[in-house]
Structure 1
Amino acid sequence: MQIQSDLTPSLSTGRQVCTYLLWGLLCWSALVPPNLFAQGTGSQPAKVSLDFNEIDIPVFARFIGEITGKNFVLDETIKKQGGKISAFSPTKVSPDQAFNMFVAALEAARIAVVKKDGNLYQIVPMGDLPPERGVFVYKLKHANATDLAAVLTNLVARSQTVAQMTPGVRPPIRPLTEFEAPVQVFADKATNSIIVSSTKNAWTHIHTVIRDLDIRRKQVFVEAVILEVQVDRLRQLGTNPTEILGAANKGSFTGIGGFNNTPPELTTIAQALTTGAAGAATGGITPLLNTVNVRAFLNLLMNLTDTNILSTPQVLAADNQKAKIVVGENRPFPTGQAQGITGGTLVTIERKDVGVTLELTPQVLEDDLIRLEIKQEITAIAENVAQTIGSGSASIPVGPTTTKRSMETTTVAQDQQTLVVGGLVRDNVTLSERKLPLLGDIPWLGWLFKSQNRQTEKLNLLVFLTPHLVRDDADMAELNARKLRDVNTLQRENRIEEPTRLKQDILERLEPPLIVPYTSPTDKPSRP
């Protein structure tokens, strides 16, 4: 009995110890994350479940280090600032996948993981990392690489200048973005590509700018008719040309240089054109005429015997691109002379263009409006003007004398609207002499047998311009078809046919040759 009584307290004490150990184990298992009890099978790494919401970065790093065997060193800034991140995985993931999720969660918080030696990793703020640079190539589809590279270089230079300014100073120009590292832009003409050396962050912004600028620009096809007509002939057209040609409020004929400000007392189109130089500077617009009436007006002028068509240029220009047409001759002009070693005279010359020069710069605006910068110049060799000074052996060549008429203006027109620029008038002087042979050549007395006539004609220069907006391939195809119809119409009006068809028609019109039966020389006609 004594032994039993001695054993009872010992058994009671052992039960209490086991109870305490069990409660401690349960409490410890509740505090430790359940993913620590994940088990693997065979040689494969154990998979874990991530269910962390707003967990401290050091705690998360310690957990990832235990399951991956990697060592992490936290930056002092992160230790001081602290921070919490979250990561969730509905299914179990491998340790490598858990590490990738850990890195992604840190990047979302603007924190980077930098690998050092071996399994050592450093956790630092992204702002402390050196920017990762690269070379990026963008192949352009529509824009010009050289022009676009100049724009981007200017943009980057301004942005970097602003980034280097003293903090707190407001920049004069707001840049697209402030690049954290130098950006270099190059143009490759061979492949029409843009090459950019920058960080990924800077390339993201530059790529957006390039994509917005690399678009297909509209084009403008401009038809021009440059002609001279006598003012006297213009007066014969009538007192009100707008009524004759059928003025309408929604046509496509616009006059510049006198048409817009025609006073009531001016009753002829000639006076309106003659006084139109001042009106060209104001850029006014006359009532509109339709295209058919414009063609009728041109045909009327062409039927006049004193109408001289100088040129009919046609040009297709891209938006905001200058187009230039020169129709003329390259004439020599003496610039000096010198005595040669052998006794001859050496004359130096310089060649210059003489003719019609037309420069156009179209700019496509909203609502199919077209802004035209027009620069037109006409030079010609003056007639009846001496090209030498002095006479005989003492004559000095001075070269031909040229006349020049130029005009420069800017106007706005609608698509397929015809503009007329006028007011450039010049005097054409003609000298004629009538005399009796021999008697008219007698000095002094010869004036009794001859007469001279001086006739002055005023020639007015008219320039008709019709811009056509070409938006896409469909407009270009329509324009080509229309020009082909114009060529066919010209061929029919002038009876111009294709060479093959012309030869075929000529052969068909030829009469068949007369066939004579062959008679042998030995054959003798039979007598009846």
Structure 2
Amino acid sequence: VVQQVTPAKAGSNTVTKSKAPAKAETVPVSTTITPVTMYVGEVKTLPVVGVTRVAVGNGKLISSTVLDTEVLLLAEAPGDSSLYLWLKNGNVLRYKLTVHASDTEQSMTNLQSMLNGIPNIAIERVGDTVVVNGTASKQNLARIEAATKTQQRVLNLVREEDVTMKKMVFMKVQIMEFKKSAMENIGIDWSTTAVGPSLAFTADLINNKQFRYSPDTLPATFQVGKGAAQPLNIPSQAGRMYFGIALAITSSLNLAVNNGDAWVLASPELSTRSGGEAKFLAGGQIPIVTAGALGSTTVTYKDYGIKLNIKPVADDQNNISASITTEVSDIDPSFQAVQGNPGFLMRSTESEINVKSGQTIVISGLVDQRSSASVNKFPFLGDVPVLGALFKSEAFRNNRSDLVIFVTPMIHDPASTSNQQRIEKSKDMRERFENFLGKKGIVD
């Protein structure tokens, strides 16, 4: 479409359509093509003075109006076209017009705002479509899908990450034999015991050459002649104190061990990423002989002992949801062996729990004193880790103690809010402690 522009009164221009000239004129045409992007229904102006003629490649896409100092464009349909403007000085300006069905720029802006903070994704415009590409975790995929559905002409190509960097969950497990009287004294409501930090310090209040607190920097062992008494020669540091935060449940367990009311049978430490699985087995294997055809025999090995499977999932608030499966199996002394193969007693629990990082889960009641009778029939059971020591215990045989499992999951995230709060609380407690003593620098 070619439009001829003729000046009109009152400072306006009149646009009239005319046929293209029969003979091409030699005019200086700009070698620069300026891109113009619009969406249907949008109005855009081009600041140009002295326009005498306008040519639009496809008049169904864009209509134009020439004003005194600018050219007014109205996008009417999606597609691509070109625009030529002839000026009074003889120059010709060229434009490449692209009309989208919707406002992709606004869609991109909206998506960038809604998906802000999600790593490893890119939001780009391809033609008249907004493309969201990249990888994301399963939790973020639902957020991306919901956001893209609110915008028009958006293509979601985000896929789930093959390997996701998830939080690590560290689990401190303590398998203990506990006197029942001590458990009653401490209390079974562990939540009231485990809440809140407590102040603990150690100091060289009494020093001599034979016994003194040893810092971690000194070697753990030293050698002397048999029967010889050598001084440690550790520099005296009277009054030097060490500060830390400890859970009250840890202090209660340590106190019970020191008083002879509890015994630590095993202290495994397990680690897995959020959503993974950690396994622990303390026990052994017993060969099971099975008779086959033609007098042949097959030997398989049966696991027994204490099995612990933990599947933790940690969220952004450091809450831990864990599935804990505990199984205790031992030989049944009342079972008459078949072909020399013993029978087994099995007790298992499955629990779904929610805890905060650092809280302790208590599992008990899986073994009773009747299991210790199997040691008499099968003496090698006394050498089995954990269960062997438990079955040989006089307190356990006399039903005065029980097997108790403590599981304390903690999230490995140094930058977490809870960890920073503990650090700040530690600093505050240390400052108050030093102010109380009236001295600085005595706490490491």
> Which structure has greater helix proportion?
1
Q: Which has the larger radius of gyration?
A: 1
Q: What TM-score does the superposition give when structure 2 sets the normalisation length?
A: 0.46
Q: What TM-score does the superposition give when structure 1 sets the normalisation length?
A: 0.40
